A = this chain, B = another copy of it.
């Protein structure tokens, strides 16, 4: 098949509203998202598709960055999920232990997914499981020595990779972007009260 797609982060995130675009315009489409917007404006001139300019681009960029980061994970034989778990354990500090439920909450996946991640990591000899003393139900997942060595090396490489990607932005751009992202997230979390433009409830 050999399509030009760019390692497309496995799912989600990717597409916003359809992502498409190059439908013909091989010249200077300016931008994938701009091309999509042009199609919509032709087909649905009644709608204001300007939000795609931000949201669509945000998603595409995030997908692209993820694909870049994944390359490093894979170099160490890790998937994104496994990398996350090892990193969360390493960050915890000695003795590099955390409970599965804690790891699940931190990495934003269900406990079912976490069980399987730990299974894989345990099989690979990177973590070990043990029961907790206090509570017979409790388990603790700990980095093995091999796991600690691997994540220390992998995380350093990961940071070099992130530095490389961020190197495309100038210092002020970086700061401005960080602030915009932080503020937007905060307003989303804060829910009401921060709204700037009165938003039409999207009900229907």
* Interface pair B10/A199, CB less than 8 Å apart: no
> Nearest chain B CB to A169's CB is how many angstroms away?
6
Question: Contacts A4-B105, A6-B108, A40-B91; is A84 near B54 (CB within 8 Å)?
Answer: no
Interface residues on A, range: 35 or more
- 1/0 contact trace for A41-56 toward B, CB 8 Å? 0111001110111110
* Interface pair B181/A107, CB less than 8 Å apart: no
Chain A interface helix/strand/loop/mixed:
helix
* Interface pair A64/B185, CB less than 8 Å apart: yes
Cα distance, A121 to B186, chains bound together (Å) = 37
- 1/0 contact trace for A117-144 toward B, CB 8 Å? 0000000000000000000000000000
Residues of chain B with a CB closer than 8 A to A101's CB: 1, 3
Cα distance, A48 to B166, chains bound together (Å) = 12
Determine if A159 is an interface residue (Cβ-Cβ < 8 Å). yes
> Nearest chain B CB to A43's CB is how many angstroms away?
6
* Interface pair B108/A14, CB less than 8 Å apart: yes
* Interface pair A18/B107, CB less than 8 Å apart: yes
